[in-house]
A and B are shown apart, each in its own frame.
Chain A
């Protein structure tokens, strides 16, 4: 795809998706905005795992650092929300570089365990510890009622839709940059590391530099999504960024196809909407006799089952399968046309 086509696709996607939540109720509008926050989280895994082949189970931690940093800047320094976002992204980037250091030595399962450990430490000893109250706002967390993002106020009634649209624009832009990156020289170096580190290093690719860069960029992407969280939810708390979210992000990234950028949008949608809709509409009686009540646990269970089914039947993820089918159909179509032409 040329740059122009990509830009066109991006613009069409924005126009098509921007107005959708307008008619929904407040809860679903919140879900729409949240789906993009987590969409960034999964996008960060597409870069780190899909492109560079590095495992990470602490992407929600990066998002959390972005969220808390943004909340802190807005509350403590009374700065504009844009400053908060910038600080959030930079903080996440810095943490990403630190987490990348062990990745220079470790790979596969050991790296997964180390990143899981980092997620645990941040969950228990940073986000929930009084030592870091200056960063987390204490047990009350930060409230950002008065946040101001280019005239967009968290307390105004239409802020969710506006936040969604800003997030969507940024998400599409980031996705576009990532697609560009994939096809570019830097993307090739990333993929070379994924396929064979040995060959990459002996062919002039600095493993140190590109692995650290991958972790930093990935954390920054997750942090960018996270830094919008206070604006969307009105406050920050440790719960959304705990270990389990990191695991869910990794699971959903694999489920949707960790090598594909559009999978991030699918995954974000899945993680934000499905449990909410399930728990909201999941009570009642079945056949007038059996009452049921679907809790959040059902979602986790369903995710686990889906993941198993996917690993068996769609090894390349949901989007990977769609992609392959579309490519096959396209080549079949072209083949047929060519044959018709040659017959004629």
Chain B
């Protein structure tokens, strides 16, 4: 149903896609993997109409998509999610899901403004369908929350819900598992299968979580530097040496990993650099963390791990002053910094690299680094950063926004270093990055520690984090549930699994539908209702009948459908 032929895209001097061709059949899930900067997102942009290719063709259901605007493609049944979340943040989750639904049906603006009966009826139908989708994705209790107020993991799910509301024939999923823990990822895999079976939607899936891609996909294509490197069934890809070389790098040789504790300085007796005692904080009426205690000593790497929404990010924010702690005390280098403005805290030598990196997309690499070195007390030469990250030197004149995710993270770390910090706090450094890059970044952190810089790290890749960390705090529902040397935690992963399921690659067995341990079951009936395309007149009849009999209209619709089949 989707045919891509010789797609070619270049941005300036960089060839993002180099004559890529492939086919996708109805009902298939095609996995797309490849290192950062391989052109996966560009491919998505070409298919969804955000970027027009320099050469090559895209056909959808036999029709060319040339010069078809993005919104028209959505109407033809192409829906997508975004790697960097693009929800409508000031709107509620329900509204987010409603927009694509009524954008598909041609509703008149005037009728909406007048609030005439037709419009009110259409509105009710939209709301009901939107609620049904939220139900399926287990998002019902967030229906009236503003999308921007939700944690990233739930926002990802809302993105999928919104894409489903387009009634897609083709679903483009860009990193749907980024920021999800293993349990959530497994549930996502199940959900994707259910969506495929019930909606008969084909999918194109990009993700760095190999376990997800290999488990879910019927076929896997590997992209590298804009070229199609390999393709095949998941089982073949897993063993393809070319793929392992390009994508996983040396990650398979486990023993070579930097083992941190060996060269860690003896820090036990030193005065703590950062002391957090009984801090609670939150947003608006929501208290996210409470009674958080943690300590970081000079030159120590400390990891914060725990499930999504456990309060790790909020804890970092409360420490760096981005949000004000409500109670408790934060001491840095012996000084009380509780509630001080973030720039003061940063000037004391506490660098915070936020989730999403906090870079200026239009500024060049060089300017970004110069800006940081100008602001640092002793004007460090930015060349130091290029020595640590030679790759950045090649790209020094490029705008940061055009770099790949891994390179951007390098810029963020390099920038933090130029301020000569005593403590660097990194939030979700590895999110959306390929394993090779993640390894490089982790090695970087070890180098930092050798220079006497302490690191406080929030990380989804638990194992990698624990390998380089000295100690770790396990967050559980807004507070520190457990503290231990990293080596102990690593040795005894069972200890963690109580609050955290890790990102261990679960190779065993496909997906056990309907029994995922969370008690969550995709509601098949509702999905069937959703997939129905009912003429307006019939819909109204259903609606009236449902109201008359006091039953949900979905049930009535199903009954009618059964009748029609017989």
- Interface contact B74-A204, CB-CB below 8 Å: yes
Residues from chain A with a CB closer than 8 A to the CB of B6 are none
User: In the complex, how many residues of chain B place their beta carbon closer than 8 angstroms to a beta carbon of chain A?
Assistant: 42
* Residue A289 is within 8 A (CB to CB) of chain B in the complex: no
Residues from chain A with a CB closer than 8 A to the CB of B202 are none
Residue of B nearest to A6 (CB): B115
- Interface contact B109-A205, CB-CB below 8 Å: no
Candidates A187, A198, A213, A217; contact of B50 at CB < 8 Å: A198
* Residue B113 is within 8 A (CB to CB) of chain A in the complex: yes
Within 8 A of A (CB), among B121-176: 122-123, 126, 162-163, 165-166
- Interface contact A185-B48, CB-CB below 8 Å: no
Candidates A185, A200, A203; contact of B112 at CB < 8 Å: A185
Within 8 A of A (CB), among B64-120: 69-75, 79-80, 82, 86-91, 95, 98-100, 102-104, 107-109, 112-115, 119-120
* Residue B349 is within 8 A (CB to CB) of chain A in the complex: no
Residues from chain A with a CB closer than 8 A to the CB of B80 are 202
* Residue B49 is within 8 A (CB to CB) of chain A in the complex: yes
Q: Please count the residue pairs between chain A and chain B whose beta carbons lie under 8 angstroms apart in the complex.
A: 113
Given contacts A191-B88, A196-B87, A199-B82, contact A204 B113 (CB under 8 A): no
- Interface contact B113-A177, CB-CB below 8 Å: yes
Residues from chain B with a CB closer than 8 A to the CB of A97 are none
Within 8 A of B (CB), among A178-193: 178, 180-181, 184-189, 191-192
Given contacts A199-B88, A202-B50, A213-B109, contact A188 B102 (CB under 8 A): yes
User: In the complex, how many residues of chain A place their beta carbon closer than 8 angstroms to a beta carbon of chain B?
Assistant: 29
- Interface contact B82-A198, CB-CB below 8 Å: yes
- Interface contact B109-A186, CB-CB below 8 Å: yes
Candidates A177, A192, A204; contact of B88 at CB < 8 Å: A192
* Residue A339 is within 8 A (CB to CB) of chain B in the complex: no
Residues from chain B with a CB closer than 8 A to the CB of A200 are 71, 88, 99
- Interface contact B98-A188, CB-CB below 8 Å: yes
- Interface contact B91-A180, CB-CB below 8 Å: no
* Residue A3 is within 8 A (CB to CB) of chain B in the complex: yes
0/1 string, A143-186, CB within 8 A of B gives 1: 00000000000000000000000000000000001101100111
Within 8 A of B (CB), among A49-68: none
Residues from chain A with a CB closer than 8 A to the CB of B99 are 185, 188-189, 192, 200, 203, 205
Closest 7 CB pairs of A and B: A184-B112, A204-B74, A185-B102, A195-B88, A199-B86, A204-B103, A201-B70
Which residues from chain B sit less than 8 Å from chain A, CB to CB?
48-50, 69-75, 79-80, 82, 86-91, 95, 98-100, 102-104, 107-109, 112-115, 119-120, 122-123, 126, 162-163, 165-166
Can you report 22 residue pairs joining A to B where beta carbons are below 8 Å apart?
A: A180-B113, A180-B114, A181-B113, A184-B112, A185-B119, A186-B112, A186-B113, A188-B102, A189-B99, A189-B103, A191-B95, A192-B88, A192-B91, A196-B88, A196-B89, A200-B99, A201-B69, A201-B71, A202-B71, A203-B166, A206-B69, A213-B109
